Homo-oligomer: A and B are copies of this chain.
């Protein structure tokens, strides 16, 4: 693969290597030459001796073949270096230099030129504006990276976060396989990196800090395979509109909608976390020797800890395993007389080493995760409990160290790859995240529009209300009975054929807020048709008459996200939509299995079930799926059905807005 030259080079040149130990170019050269087993060539236009090695004036002066060039020269010279590398048939580069797209127009132009040169020569490069790359073979970063070699790969879109995570790995003795600082991604993109790492046999899990996805479509296509191979955990910086601004000034990338981002990660089977602690906590589980289950046994020597831990378990949707009667009897033999041998299993404050050993032995084959509170009390220390746990390695043990000597106990468990946390709530959150890892879905996005739909929408930038309704019908989405009237007689005839009472409203070519214009009348009976018609025709020439439906007000919409493209959204409709924001997003196309999950997430399913009126959930689910198809087929920019009335007869689009 092309990226092998980047990740597994046989020779490296460092252009911009410096004698000055305070300079990035010096740190880089030292980091690489102290870690890389192949040949490393310093390049420096002053041709100095650098760290005892004679440097070359130019890449051209090097006789041997070079696989990778690491560039740390002033931004104006980067293009020239790339040109020389191309002439020397170099296959890959890391451009450390900053001052490109992230600083404004000037830099953007320079970056474009750089990409052109690289593409001309077929060079794949990381950066610019990257902290570099750390691999099992070499440390091509300018960071202090005295970390243990291990199985976790880190991909970061912020050098600062990268440096922090290396520090964290060092402190927590977490083993790292790769650290990739993405930089501006003007050539090599995050999805390529993640894909590459997912195929790396040394890497067990990939952790990604990202601020914006470079190419949503490619991301959607490549990630499902990557997440099928190993866990890929994402955290997104720039979660809110306001801090998205900070992201913009930071790496110049456009932060898409946070909610759609979350939906995209779920779609591709990635694990999404909201904050740094959760992010780092998950590394404990992916590195673990223990099977992780959603049924939990809590073992403690303190009732209060048992209570707080079960609180956390119930809140997270996990469950406390029931101890079978047989084991319960055995446990009673080793516990004090007043103990109940229930879950949480309270060994009592006077439990010593032996009681821990015998109780854990009894439950060790129970198929569940054993969350053991490793607390120091006068009769046992954290360290002693930790040592007991080593006997049950592989039996689903997770430790929560809470006491005087918790650091020492943590180290004992860590060395045995038994996950260890400092608070029960955090252990529970991490378990819950892992057991609820989403299944990856592959999105095949083909536009296969229905001919009549093309005719209906051809050349239009927005649809009139009635064309909107017609479009729904073409896509198998039901509508209430309706008709358009331009005269009182029409109105009367249409209403008669629909049946009373009816809804009468203004009919427009442009999307407007009809209610706010006082253009909607409900409950119109036969004798009020004339009067209502004349009121409405003061606002619009045309009047729409609709069957009046009752039922649950839902909302289904679609938008074209700048990053992930067509996305469908379903939620509680009416005023509840804006206030409660009880909605769920799905990347189009959405098939019925996924639409079911979305309707669940939006809480609409609960509402339908609570109402016990036999409302047609199937019709709602099909509508979500059909809308996702429609927006793809017709390249819709924005649309919504609000309300979509769901009742025992089906789901009906009452009002529709479509924008191309």
Contact = CB atoms under 8 A, between A and B. Distances in A.
A209 interface: yes
Nearest to A422: B277
A250 B344 CA distance: 10
A239 interface: yes
A276 B421 CA distance: 13
Given A404-B170, A425-B276, A579-B603, A158 B303 contact: yes
A654 to B, nearest CB: 17
Contact of A277 (B311, B404, B423): B423
Nearest to A311: B239
Interface residues on A, range: 35 or more
A196 to B, nearest CB: 22
Contacts of A404: 144, 167, 170-171
Of A303, A402, A603, most buried by chain B (CB within 10 Å of CB) is A303
B238 A307 contact: yes
Of A167, A525, A603, most buried by chain B (CB within 10 Å of CB) is A167
A338 B107 CA distance: 11
A375 B163 contact: yes
Of A251, A306, A376, most buried by chain B (CB within 10 Å of CB) is A306
Contacts of A344: 246
Interface in A208-250: 209, 211, 235, 237-240, 242-243, 246-247, 249-250
B242 A320 contact: yes
Nearest to A102: B338
Nearest to A611: B575
A276 B308 contact: yes
A578 interface: yes
Contacts of A158: 302-305, 307
Interface in A241-283: 242-243, 246-247, 249-251, 275-277
B249 A171 contact: no
B423 A246 contact: no
A156 interface: yes
Of A338, A340, A523, A603, most buried by chain B (CB within 10 Å of CB) is A338
Contacts of A103: 338
A329 interface: no
Nearest to A516: B612
A301 interface: yes
A313 B237 CA distance: 13
Contacts of A375: 160, 163-164
A27 interface: yes
A623 to B, nearest CB: 20
A404 to B, nearest CB: 4
A56 interface: no
A17 to B, nearest CB: 16
A192 interface: no
B575 A607 contact: yes
B610 A311 contact: no
Nearest to A305: B160
A406 B525 CA distance: 74
A300 B249 CA distance: 14
Nearest to A382: B167
Nearest to A612: B516
B338 A304 contact: no
Interface string A159-178: 11101100110110000000
Given A103-B338, A302-B159, A246 B171 contact: no
Contact of A305 (B161, B313, B423, B426): B161
5 contacts: A27-B378, A240-B314, A243-B310, A243-B311, A275-B425
Given A143-B378, A247-B307, A578-B610, 20 more contacts: A156-B304, A160-B300, A160-B301, A160-B302, A160-B303, A161-B302, A161-B304, A163-B349, A163-B377, A164-B302, A164-B305, A164-B403, A167-B402, A211-B307, A239-B311, A239-B315, A243-B310, A246-B306, A579-B603, A580-B603
